[in-house]
Amino acid sequence: MSENENKPQSNFIKEIINEDLKNGKYEKVHTRFPPEPNGYLHIGHAKSICLNFGLAKEYGGKCNLRFDDTNPSKEDVEYVNSIMEDIKWLGFDWEDRLFYASDYFDALYEYAVKLIKKGKAYVDSCTSEEISEYRGMPTKPGIESPYRNRSVEENLDLFERMKNGEFKDGEHVLRAKIDMTSPNMNLRDPIMYRIRHESHHRTGDKWRIYPMYDWAHGQSDSIEGITHSVCTLEFENHRPLYDWFLDELEIHHPRQIEFARLNLTYTIMSKRKLLELVEGKYVDGWDDPRMPTLSGFRRRGFTPESIRNFADRIGVVKRDSIADVSLLEHSLREDLNKRALRRMAVLRPLKVTITNYPEGKEETLEAVNNPEDESAGKRGIPFSRELYIEDRDFQENPHRKFFRLAPGREVRLRYAYIIKCEEVIKDESGNVIELLCTYDPETKSGTGTAQRKVKGTIHWVTRKDSIDAEIRLYDRLFTAENPDGDKEKSFKEFLNPDSLEILSDCKLEPSLANVKPGDKFQFERNGYFCVDTKETGNEKIVFNRTVTLRDTWAKIAKNRN
């Protein structure tokens, strides 16, 4: 990576901030990340996290974490805890600035009373169907509610009784009084409060009315002294409402700026649809390594550095676009290539016996831990008469471009010797179960006598000292680039039936005997793997494939076309 790539890149948001600071509109930069605790964060949220916390860091400012907990029917403490864990894992710290929209419920109520007194808000007793009908269409002006001109006194009385729980859900709402003919539908007397007889995970049963997002968000920003409220493009048409509330209340006015959200190929970003996958048992929970959630990426073996680098690479733009998931995988490979220790693991073992290697003899060979990092040093690996190799590294009737092991052919064992296949042993069904080979003792790797060359080099593990493990080969969850793009089909019809393959009889080199959950390695010739954080225990080692060594999907897509 060049020196320029390490420097913060300019974007339109920074240009706006620079202008605001230059003109003295704000003295400092104060941002916030405001997740709704109704699900786990996904890779799209990572872009917003990196942007908001990154801007604060770059400008020497602050960034708050504020939970938008205004809808108790969909929220859970589990989601709150997972969100905080994800942000910390990504490498960001809100310090002492952890807030909740519910912290401001009393203030928001008083703000609403202020608008009622100004004649800018009223209690509407229409049904939800009537409210929807009266709003009109984008090409047709709305109709004023018959309750729009209630007196201030009546509105104040009804609103307080709503708060006290005297009415049923849906019996009344509080609406802002703006303009039912506005071409912007968000300004057609939007709902500020609805009645919900539900217990809140923080405020308990204190409230029987809960604020809508558009009402709570801007005022929460104002209370916290936020200067730049950075959000995604779907809120662009909400900005006039954001500004209207703040102007009418005459309080600190942050600046809302919209950017394009992250869309990723072969990925679903809708929390509602991700919840469908979880509840329908299509995946093993929110942290299933195939899920685009940050907890799923973490369990699969992604590094926070790779995700932050990916967010930097895709940049910040104003128009929606779809990023190629291959770029995310490239960022991951680039990071793991530098840090992951190399090890040998045989995923589908085939026994090899070296008939001319002395029985009972063992020797320790020297292997490099990471060719990209000299400080990682070397390790010893045992070598003996009986080994395991990958079954794919042998073909009884090899095709023309196959340069690995075959009857009468030679291959080099990585860090070891050249061996030659002399005989093939099969079971009663005709399956190859063992290869009898000979080795050339003059071809030991790393010695001056190892001059003879062969075309193929394969990995292996010694049979006597090998470690048993389960390895899970994870692949993309969907087969279509845009699984949500077909109006005639459900996104679930594009689920990849081969997104998970479990191999239960894998053999690892003995240096992997004491691995810990979360440890990451490159299994030579097989890809990058991570010790699973949920299934690995005293009796079992489970590895998840994080990513292949190369982008195999590009080749598959080309062949399909």
The type of residue at 173 is V
Alpha-carbon gap, residue 303 to 522, rounded angstroms: 14
For residue 343, what are its two tokens? 């090890």
Q: Which pair of tokens denotes residue 361?
A: 């003899």
Does residue 38 contact residue 6 with C-beta atoms inside 8 Å? no
Q: Which of 14, 36, 85, 114 is catalytic?
A: 36
CA distance 536 to 517: 7
Phi-psi region of 503 (alpha: psi -120 to 50; beta: other; left: phi over 0): beta
> Is 261 marked active-site?
yes
CB 507 within 8 A of CB 468: yes
Contact 370, 342 (CB under 8 A): yes
The residue from 271, 298, 300, 472 that is catalytic is 271
- Residue 208: active-site member: no
Residue 19 annotated among the catalytic residues of the structure: no
- Residue in this structure with the two tokens 């990576």, named with its chain if needed: 1
Partners of 162 in the β-ladder = none
**Are 72 and 201 within 8 A, CB to CB?**
yes
Pairing of strands 410-413, 209-211: unpaired
Distance CA 504, CA 389 (A): 16
Active-site residue, from 57, 208, 261, 476: 261
Residue type for position 13: I
DSSP letters, 269-310, are --HHHHHHHHHTTSSSSTT-TTSSBHHHHHHHT--HHHHHHH
Catalytic residues: 36, 261, 271
